[in-house]
Chains A and B, each alone.
Chain A
Amino acid sequence: MDTTLDWQELLRHPGRHDHMVQLYQEQDFLVEAVAQYLGSGLRLGEAAIVIARPENRKRFAQALQREHLYPSGAVQMLDAEQTLARFMVDGMPEWTAFHRVIGGAIAGLRLQYPTVRAYGEMVDILWQRGSREAAIRLEEFWNEVGRLQTFSLLCAYAMDPLEAASYGGALESVCKCHSHLIPARDYARFNDAVSDASKSVLDQPLAQMLLELAASHRPHTEMPLGQAALIWLKQNMPRTADKVLDETRARLASA
């Protein structure tokens, strides 16, 4: 049984040091998730810090406004590009400046509020630019700040978990930095599609055995079983994984 929390529940009640990542292709899914995450915290009297692109800040603000949660002194909105510029040196994030800018902003909010929920797109900006080493370093800096201060963090990457090119290093690197991975809107449907696709490609007995092996070798990052199985398959049987990915995509598209 997949005991992974569904993403809505996870975002409503994150752990005090959770560092979650959402993969998305549809803006609506991103806005829904961020509004869920920030809105739940604001209703509990927590603070929020959003470091995002201008168009997304506008979308998040509108979603929070509809819930009468914004404007509010508990919400701090920062521009992702401008914030990045304050601590990037020679294409890489610099710890002291990062700690001063980000750690300072969170510490400031924590003086007034019991805890803080942070949402950030800076890593995605670096990632989309191809600066993957810088993106992963920045994720590590976020984790380092997370060890020094109490806050939860949600990141978002515009990445397709059913695209073969997302694997073989990219998705695995992203996973290593996060406590939870949210790959899809409907976990049950996603898991069923992966399971059915595996059975179609491998036949039921072999698929069942491999999915059980995958489940027993799950990464430490919490994620739906179907996503863990895809990562495991891609690492260990890449050609098989590509067929399962194609079949999973076809099943999700036709459902």
Chain B
Amino acid sequence: MKYVLEIENVSKFFHGLVAIDDLTIRVKPGQIYGIIGPNGAGKTTLFNCVTGIYTPEKGTIKYKGEDITGMEPHKIAQRGVLRTFQNIRLFKEMSVAENIMAGCHTKSKQKWYHSIIHTSFYKKDELKHWKKVEELMEFFGLSQFAATATADLPYGVQRKVEMARALAADPELLILDEPAAGLNENETIELTRIIRKIKEMGLGIMMIEHDMDMVMSLTDYITVINFGKEISQGLPDFVQDDPKVIEAYIGSDDDEEDE
């Protein structure tokens, strides 16, 4: 398998306005692929197309060679494409452990009748996945918050819970939408370390991020988009010095920092 994700000439319009214009992106397993660009460039729209929340009007999206264009979000997730959200979507009133357990949904083999009668199969299945939740909480340093409602946790911890939840589904493609947004410097450093460790697991990671230090230190390859169009792509060092990228960012850089 050469690519875990192939986005081929994808375009998305909203009421005739172009949100994404003819984008082609290919992500390899074990690679961190950065998507950067000014606000409103269409980055999140692209992620929503990949995860099935939107259906692109043109082009195809292939996951491990299978065409997933326009497939329902839950089917795409069941195949192993998991994501986090820019503005954090956790099950707020529920505890950290319960939130991470949501990621085990596709892995659990329980049938409908196991919700009425708890058989020995049920018990094994349930324990297996709670153990996995335990491991993930240890990996992310969340064990002490196991029973805490996620709404009561600091932003940085919530980000980790969201990532742990996605990882619980054993994804082969992990999509991170601005993982460092709203984090302080220390939290960002810790998150960078965690993402590096996740990369070692061998999955493909696609990431939108505005924190340039983080992008430059983490990503293996970058596509820069502006107004839905690709304006540059390449290795971080190349993209950083590309005059087209610098031009796109001048004047808008400050706004980005506020986000």
Chain B binds chain A: no
- Tell me the A residues contacting B by CB distance below 8 Å: none
